[in-house]
Structure 1
């Protein structure tokens, strides 16, 4: 397994000999938005914090909390997901999730959110001097407690076959582990596993796919591979074979992020993408493109139907 790196932004800690702020200046800096409190006694400048993706922010929180723990702990749920690079749909919490033995009866508070679920039978691996729940265990723990779409997104991320280093787990392993557990939420987790797909590259693709089916459109194939007339190999996020309809979900980051293609300008990237789209359009009957902000029932329904894809249901 390839461990994701902890973000390298500078972290200022109270225990540092040259901590730059007294309590009053620190409170004012946080209130004014100049600094962010990551964990008790650990702070990051806001500009550095904003440069991180949400999952990286939570991963940094987890590491800072773990570094301050006086005894080994079992990090689980969102904390384990961040450490394992399992993205989630929606906001990451501020508290760091820890699973404890039922008999302990510890309360949540401060930077820690404790889950008194018991430690017997849970699947863990060593991490940073502590334990975290395994990818399969983490995905199941979240699938048991999250709404359906978010639960499927977590499963999709865990079984994603195009991940660098390979998938973190499989649906077979998830089902096997689920059979060994007596925790609540088994039915919810089984429904999420049944709806999961190993080719969803990100949580927004999962959200789109589930909404597309709910709106009455046919279930699409994912990551459709085509060799265009120019010899260019392309992959489509969604493809509806019966309608010969191609669909793509695009965030603006691919055009605006300097890391997306350091050797080309934004204009060059946009022109190349437009040429790619035109070439794809010549091979299909219909083509749809949408952004994450379009993933809402009426908006996505209107986009797909306007582009010629038929639904079995009326407009929501």
Structure 2
């Protein structure tokens, strides 16, 4: 992810330097050559194609800074995007922190009022935002459980996980403890935030894996083993997303996006990667005598749907 910094945010002064007057700007907007990000800030429409939710949020933050009278400090979902944490969906808003009580923020800007300690502010590629710890705490308090857990898992992963399977539990616990402290004793949403942070685990590799863990818990499964190594042929190590140890099964969250990522990384076609994955699955099933079940985004929209998927393979939570 490029955090949206490959997109050029253009103010009117930038455009004037390129020979644009007001009429030419309007023509470019009408022709969809330029996109208005916010009043006084634009981007070339072609550069906004195929951005992720996180990249769109970062572009909006840069546009806000470009026209702001004072240096803004970004927080909540906007800060999460700047830190590279996942947003399950783009709310189209820009979240800023303000210690004063100014009533206005401008279009599609949410001003979160309250003090921010100096140590809670960091610079990310030229933008000021809340620290990783403060951001995780704020998102855990205010976002949906699914979005909060995805962000918390990703934050722990960023400080504790090293491929292919090393996990620094001390580093993870240090961040978790700091985020729990940052929540505060009287903050709205603190109970839910603490539940999320207690459950967070940086070994979950993708938001879909984070939500899968949540659904498995809701179904009544024991906490699964994560990123389980299985010795493969020729000294290879196969890593499996979930060890459902209480029912002697394996689980994996994936989809075509995962196959495309593997294909790019390995320089193969998606179909070749699919065939390789099939051989991998056969090996894992054969040497462990456990079933392996895959599921994707459509299966984790709620616990009941994932339960039906697992039940189709004879996998049920123990009673």
- TM-score w.r.t. the length of structure 1 is 0.84
Matching residue of 2:151: 154
1:54: how far off?
A: 1.7
Matching residue of 2:194: 190
Query: Using a 3 Å threshold, how does the CA distance of structure 1 residues 207 and 96 change in structure 2: closer, same or farther?
Result: same
1:139: how far off?
A: 0.7
Question: C-alpha distance in 2, partners of 1:18/1:194?
Answer: 52
Query: Using a 3 Å threshold, how does the CA distance of structure 1 residues 226 and 115 change in structure 2: closer, same or farther?
Result: same
Question: C-alpha distance in 1, partners of 2:112/2:242?
Answer: 38
Q: Does 1:308 align with 2:314?
A: yes
Matching residue of 2:59: 60
- Count of residues paired in the alignment: 305
- Tell which deviates more after alignment, 104-113 or 198-207: 104-113
Matching residue of 2:280: 276
Q: Give the one of 283, 291, 294 matched to 2:296.
A: 291
Question: C-alpha distance in 2, partners of 1:234/1:262?
Answer: 15
Contact 2:225–2:243 under 8 Å retained in 1 = yes
Task: Name the Cα RMSD after superposition.
Answer: 3.0
Question: C-alpha distance in 2, partners of 1:122/1:141?
Answer: 15
User: Unaligned regions of 5+ residues in structure 1, if any?
Assistant: none
Q: Does 1:178 align with 2:207?
A: no
- TM-score w.r.t. the length of structure 2 is 0.83
Query: Using a 3 Å threshold, how does the CA distance of structure 1 residues 138 and 28 change in structure 2: closer, same or farther?
Result: same
Matching residue of 1:8: 6
1:45: how far off?
A: 4.5
3-state SS in 1 of match to 2:31: helix
Matching of residues 147-296 of structure 1 within 5 Å? 147-160=144-157, 161-162=160-161, 170-179=175-184, 182-256=186-260, 260-261=264-265, 263-284=267-288, 285-296=290-301
Matching of residues 81-92 of structure 1 within 5 Å? 81-89=80-88, 91-92=89-90
Matching of residues 2-41 of structure 1 within 5 Å? 6-15=4-13, 16=15, 17-18=17-18, 22-30=24-32, 36-41=35-40
More helix by share: 2
3-state SS in 2 of match to 1:87: coil
1:131: how far off?
A: 2.9
User: Unaligned regions of 5+ residues in structure 2, if any?
Assistant: none
